[in-house]
Structure formats: structure tokens, C-alpha cells
A and B are shown apart, each in its own frame.
Chain A
Amino acid sequence: MSIRVVLADDHRMIIAALRSMLEKESDIAVVGEAGDGAVLLEVVARTMPDVAVVDIAMPGMNGIEATRRLLAGHPRLNVIALSAYSDRRFVLEMLNAGAKGYLVKASAGDELARAIRAIAQGQTYLCPEVAGSIVEAARGRTAPAGSASANLGRREREVLALLADGKSSSEIAARLHIAVSTVEVHRRNIMRKLDLHNVAELTKYAIREGLISP
């Protein structure tokens, strides 16, 4: 039985090219096309495909948002992200949105069919260009952007702990091998983010969060 695929991209030429490539594959059937996020939702609802190949940069609702909604409505759907760009942020955003695969358009020619098959089986498929970024992200080098409300950076957490411990700015600076002025900026940012106004509040927060022991 063929894998049923929906293609979404705002450029007709791209869709035409992808379709013609996939038509050669006997186990893949293109069952729908969409030019933007809204149409995509509707097409998926209508055709109930196995895999959706979604371009990130679509007008109106972009691919990331569309992916989230699709998966919210159709949890068993597998989404492959398609993008002209390999920027790691795109990759992470799409993966966070629930996509299982990421392809760079220019290399799609060889890999699209393979990716679809892999995804259909529940695997993850990342083209080589983006795989490296993911590895780095896995290693914790890339900080995820905006999720929790009190989102302190790594350094900020370190400074917070020392502040709550009663250390002065120069002591903190010496400890962390950074400039005193840098410590001051971190302190200010921490106060802003946590809406704290003095050391007492700061200490309470630190205890609450388990950064220091009472």
C-alpha cells in the first residue's frame, strides 16, 4: 500500500518538481497539495495522509505553526519539514513543533522518497546539512529560545546562586572569572526577569528554586 503524502509549499514550481519526482516512486502517492497553512489543514483533514511535507516559509500561517496545529489535530500524522534554509533555529523550531524530519529543498531530489519512507515508519530523518546542528543542540550548546516564563540563562543561574549566598559582585566576578561590570548586568537582568527588588526576595526565590539550600 502506498504512503499517502500531502505536499505544502507556496511555490507551485517546487510542488510540481516534487510531485514529478515522487510519481516515479511506486510506493508513494501524492494525495494533496497546499499553498499555505490554512489550505494545508483543510487538505489534511480531507485526505488524511500518512505524511505531510511542509515548507516552513509559507505566507499567512507558516510551516511551524501549521505543523503544531496539524499534529494537535492529527497526532498520528508524520511531518517532514522542507526549507530553503538549513539554519539550526528552523530545524529546532520544526522539531519542537513535532516534525520528524527536515530536508533542505535543494537536496530534496535524492532524499525526499527516502525521507518519506523513513518517516512513515516512525523514524526521524534529518538531512546531513542539518544533522550537525542537532548534535550541537543535543550537547547543550544551543540554548532553546523562549519557553518557560522565568527563563534564566546558564550564567544568570550561576550568578543568582552566588548572590543569594550573600557574595558581593567582586567576589562573584572573581569566582566566575568574569568582569565585575558583567556581574552587575547579570544581576540587573535577573532582577528584571524574576521581578525581584532586593537581595531578600532574591534569596527566597533561590531557595524556592533549589539553587541554594536554606
Chain B
Amino acid sequence: MHGIACGLVSAQDAMMQMLFPRLGAKSFIAGVFAILAAAIAGVGYLVFDYQRQSISRDAAEHLSVVAELRAQQVASWMSERRANARMQGRHSFLADEIGRWLKHGAVEGDAAAAIKSRFAAIAESYGYRTVTLVDAEGYPLLSTDQPPEINAAEYRAAAEVMRTGNVVISDFHLSANKDKREPEIDILAPVYAGQHDASPVAVLVFDIDPETSLHALIESWPIPSRSAETLLVGRDENRVRYLTDLRHQKDAQFNLHLPLDQPDLVEAMGLAGQQGVVTGVDYRGVKVLAFLRPIPDSPWFLVAKVDSAEIYAPLQMRAGITALVTAILILAAALTTIAWARARREREEKLQRANTELEERVKSRTADLEKLRQELQALVAVQESFQEEERKHVARELHDELAQKLTVLKLQIASITSVVTARDPGLTRQIQDMSSLLSEAITAVAGIAANLRPVLLDPLGLVTALHELVEEFSERTGVECEFSVHPADLSVDDGLAMPLYRIVQESLTNVARHAQATEVIVSLYRDPAGKITLDINDNGRGFSSVDQSVRKSFGLIGMRERAAMLGGEMKIHSQPGVGTSIEIIIPAG
């Protein structure tokens, strides 16, 4: 992870530079982490949601299959029963017998008993609870039940049969039996005396115990389930009537009524006309997923439902796993972020340390350099003074040893000239040549010595020497050069005289070479406190202060060192087109 983090630090810098130059590093990292965590959470949620919907779909499909199956079964049961009842009413021995009996007055007797025993046989074989014969006016005549009774609903239904000639299946109702009010369904079929008669003569009422016939059909669930059930519901005025026994509430059948206007009750939804997959609550108030299907040709509705909790139960585990995985990923992201932030901080600290170290080193190096420079300066100063001493020594040697001897030689030649020429006139020329040669030699030596040390300086002092230097310069170059000194009897120490002379000498050389000046003033001034100021001003070309090559080539750097060596400082002012001034200040003492 550390490796990733380090890689991230580099990537981060590149990214940050590109995208968010101003953003602080911390907020950037936090931002990235937030985005990452959000993304992971988002993906986790999407996975969860997908799974939930997938489960939902599967459950819904399952429910729809079951509902479809059951509805079909109910419908086919109903049509089978209808067919059977119709057959009993028209195409059967029973119908013939009933027709005959009715024709013969419908009295008690063997015929009636025979019909009743046929009723019993039918009831038994087809699972009817009771079979009752009702006449055209709706009056019950014969029944497996004694006495024959019909209730109001059966009465109405019988009238409808008589009128329409159709088989009618009544809605669920409680039986007419006052002792045992049980739910039942009636099938009423018209009885025709003859097979080809147009209108019925009586109505057969078959009572069905839905418990034995219908419930078995729908109450079982094809695959084991904790909470799934199918139920049949019907409308009872403004209430939901539960027509089948409820799995989770015994004896609810017919006894449980729930208002139709409860909007999230799935059973009510069905009776309101909704079909297909719905979610809501059931009679227990428990959240369910339901499939609603009307039973065709009947006022009934099939509800196949399963508790939401049951179908989503596996989802919980999956959700848990997804959440766990998401949490782990976020944690990993967090750890990476922390490692990243830490790596970043380490890097910054390292950078900071390196910086500080670098600064320290630079500082110490600069201090070293400064020390070296000062040492160098001192060295140069010492070297300079040694050099001047050397030159002074050599000049003196040249003068004392060489020049004087040559002079003596010339004098001696002069002294013997007259004697020799008197004795041998032919030697006159030779002696003259010797003398001339010696003169040249003496002049040459004097010149060399003068270059090493100005002749006037030691005997006559700095002021006189400078006067002469300035005048020579003027005469040589044609530049008007003046020397202004105050006080007039100014004298300086030996150690000062030569360097100051050299400075003026060099400055004048520079002026002659570069400045193209017409006026130069050399000023030497000692103030009452003893501070000495030497300045050389010219009205020449000048140079701009950035012109470093000028400084170097004019030996200005050396001059500055010389001034420093004397314990003073040098200032240069130059204005292009106006002139240059070089100022040397030597403090007193």
C-alpha cells in the first residue's frame, strides 16, 4: 500500500498542477477520498438495489405463476361444476323423474323418495352438501336436508335461473341452516321436463361446501413457503369478505371483514379492480408482495401473496454481504488515503528538512566564502605591499648598483678623454661612442627604475609626485588635467603614498584609454579629522553601472581592493555622456 501511496503522491502532484493549482493538498486528498467513498457506496447500493429488484421480480413471477395456476383451477372447477349442474338439470334421469313427479302433483310418495335418494347419491358422489329442488315460484320442494330450506339469496338466484335458463353460481354466503352457519356456494341449474323444452319447470340447488372443494385447490402452495398463501376474496357491500380460510388466522373465513377503503390492503386493491403485481399490506397488516387475479365469470378475486419479509430475507443476507464488502472497500480506500496523506506529509517533511539543510549549508558556505574573500583580500593587500617593497628595492638596487657605476664609468671616460685624444687623436671618435653608449645605458636603467618606482615619490613626497604626474599626463595627452590639493603641505605615510599614486596613475591611464575626456581633475583632500579623500573626475563618455566588462577591464576591481587594503573604500559614479568620478576615502588613523 505504501508503494501505491508513493505512486499516488507523484500522480497527485501532476494532477493537482493540472486541475487545481490553488487547492490545498489536504482538501484535495479529502475530496478524492470522499468521491471514492461515495462511488463505492453508490456502487454498493446499486448492487443491493439490483439484487432487491431481481428478487422482487422473481417473487412476482413466482406469484403470478401460482396465481395463474390457481385461478385457472378455480375457473375450471367452476365451469366443470356448471356443466355438471346443467347436465343434471336437462340430460339426466333425475330431470326426467323430476319432470314426471311435478306433472303428477309433486306429492310425497315413492317418487319423491326415489328422487331424494338420487339426490343423496349425487351429493355423495359429487361432493355436494345438499341438493334441493325448488319449484318455479321458488318454493323448496325436496332436499337432502330436512326440511328443505332455501335462503333469500338462493331464492333470488332461483328466480334468475327460471327467468334466464342459465346456470347460476351464487356468491359465497352463509348457509341457511340456522344451527350451523357455514359458508357455502350454490349452483342453481334449471330443470327441464323434456330434453328439448324451452323453459324450465324447476330449479335444482346444489350446495357446495367450499371448504372441501375449493380450498384444497387453492390453499396449498406449490413449493414450501413460510408465509405464502392464496386466498379468494369477494365483496360484501363495502367490505372485503374473505372466502377461504386464512393461513395465518384461523376461522377468519367469513368472520373477518376489512373495510374496502383501506388503500394499501392488497385484497381491497384487487376488489377495486387492480390486477397483477402489487405491494401493500394484508389482513394482518403485514407487508406483502401480491399478485391479484380476478376469477372469470365470478365476482371473486384471487390473491396470491407472500410476506415481503420472506422474499427479502435472503436479500438481507446479501445486503449484509454487500454492505460488508462496501465497508471493506471504503476502509481500504480510507487506509490508502491515510497512507497517501502520510506519504505526502513525509515527503513534505523530507523536503522541508532538505530545504533547511540546504539553507544551512548555503549559509555556512557563504560564511566560508566570505571568510575566504577576506583572507584573499588580506593576501592581496600583503602581496601588493610586498610587490611595492620589492620594486622599491629593485629600483634602488638598479640606481645604487648599476646606474651609479655606469655614471662613474662615464665620468672616468670623461676624465681620460683629453689625455687620450691628445695622445692619439684617432681615438676621439671611439671614446665619444663609448660615452654615448654609456649615456644610453644610464638612461635605460633610469627608465627601468622609474617604471618600478616613481623617482619623485620618495624624495619629494606624494603631492609633488602627483603634480608631476598630472602635468605629464596633460602634456602627453592634451587633456586639460588639474591637480587640486588641500592642505598644500599634505603628506601621507609611506605605506599610503605609493598605493594612492598607483590609483591615480591607473585612473589617468583609463581616462586616456577609454573616456575620451577633455577635462580631468584630480583632487586630494585631508579634512581636519584626518580623513583623506582622493577623487578623479573626468567629463568623458562614462559608462552605465551594469556594464560589468568595463569594471573588469578598467581594473576597477583591483582599485577597489587596493582601497580596501588601505582600510578605505572606493565609490564610483558614472553617467553615460556626462562623465565619471572615482572617489577613494581613507579614514583617519
Contact = CB atoms under 8 A, between A and B. Distances in A.
Interface string B410-423: 11111101000000
B468 to A, nearest CB: 5
17 contacts: A17-B407, A17-B415, A18-B411, A21-B415, A24-B415, A84-B404, A89-B464, A106-B439, A108-B411, A110-B414, A146-B490, A148-B488, A178-B519, A185-B581, A189-B521, A192-B525, A193-B486
A181 B518 CA distance: 12
A26 interface: no
B471 A11 contact: no
Given A21-B411, A109-B413, A11 B404 contact: yes
B442 A146 contact: no
A143 B467 contact: yes
Nearest to B441: A106
Contacts of B38: none
B197 interface: no
B579 A57 contact: no
B484 A90 contact: no
B399 A181 contact: no
Contacts of B519: 178-179, 182
A87 B456 contact: yes
Q: Report, nearest first, the 4 A-B pairs whose CB atoms are least far apart.
A: A109-B414, A179-B539, A146-B488, A17-B411
B464 A145 contact: yes
B488 A153 contact: no
B460 A93 contact: yes
Given A24-B415, A109-B413, A13 B467 contact: no
A72 interface: no
Interface of B: 399-400, 403-408, 410-415, 417, 438-439, 442, 446, 455-456, 459-460, 463-464, 467-468, 471, 480, 482-490, 518-519, 521, 523, 525, 535, 537, 539, 578-579, 581
A155 interface: yes
Given A21-B414, A87-B468, A146-B485, A182 B521 contact: yes
A129 to B, nearest CB: 11
Given A108-B411, A147-B488, A179-B539, A153 B464 contact: no
A146 B463 contact: yes
B579 A179 contact: yes
A181 B536 CA distance: 12
Given A13-B404, A109-B410, A143-B467, A156 B484 contact: yes
A149 B487 contact: yes
Contacts of B468: 87-89
A181 B488 contact: no
A142 interface: yes
Contacts of B578: 179, 181
B50 to A, nearest CB: 94
Contact of B486 (A85, A106, A192): A192
A64 interface: yes
Interface residues of A, number: 46
A77 B519 CA distance: 45
B484 A57 contact: no
A186 interface: yes
Contacts of B446: 84-85
B484 A153 contact: yes
Contacts of A105: 407, 411
A168 interface: no
B467 A89 contact: yes
A116 to B, nearest CB: 15
Most buried by A among B406, B456, B459, B487: B459
Contacts of A124: none
A170 interface: no
Contacts of A17: 407-408, 411-412, 415
B488 A109 contact: no
Nearest to A109: B414
Interface in A113-152: 142-143, 145-149, 151
A94 to B, nearest CB: 11
Contacts of B463: 145-146
A64 B459 contact: yes
Nearest to B455: A85
A90 B308 CA distance: 132
Contact of A145 (B414, B467, B482): B467
A193 B488 CA distance: 9
Most buried by B among A62, A88, A145, A188: A145
A13 B404 CA distance: 8
Given A64-B460, A109-B411, 20 more contacts: A13-B405, A14-B407, A16-B408, A17-B408, A17-B412, A20-B412, A21-B414, A62-B459, A89-B460, A105-B407, A106-B411, A109-B410, A109-B415, A146-B488, A146-B489, A153-B484, A181-B537, A182-B537, A182-B579, A186-B521
A151 B459 CA distance: 22
Contacts of B486: 151, 189, 192-193
Given A11-B400, A17-B408, A182-B539, A90 B456 contact: yes
A103 B404 CA distance: 15
A85 B446 CA distance: 8
Contacts of A193: 484, 486
Interface string A12-38: 011011101100100000000000000
A87 B455 contact: yes
A56 B399 contact: no
Interface string A173-189: 00000110110011011
A164 to B, nearest CB: 18
Nearest to A190: B484
Interface in A38-77: 56-57, 62, 64
A14 B403 CA distance: 11
A105 B566 CA distance: 37
Interface in A160-214: 178-179, 181-182, 185-186, 188-189, 192-193
A30 B287 CA distance: 155
Most buried by B among A62, A84, A90, A108: A84
Contacts of B456: 87, 89-90
Contacts of A64: 459-460
Contact of A155 (B404, B482, B490): B482
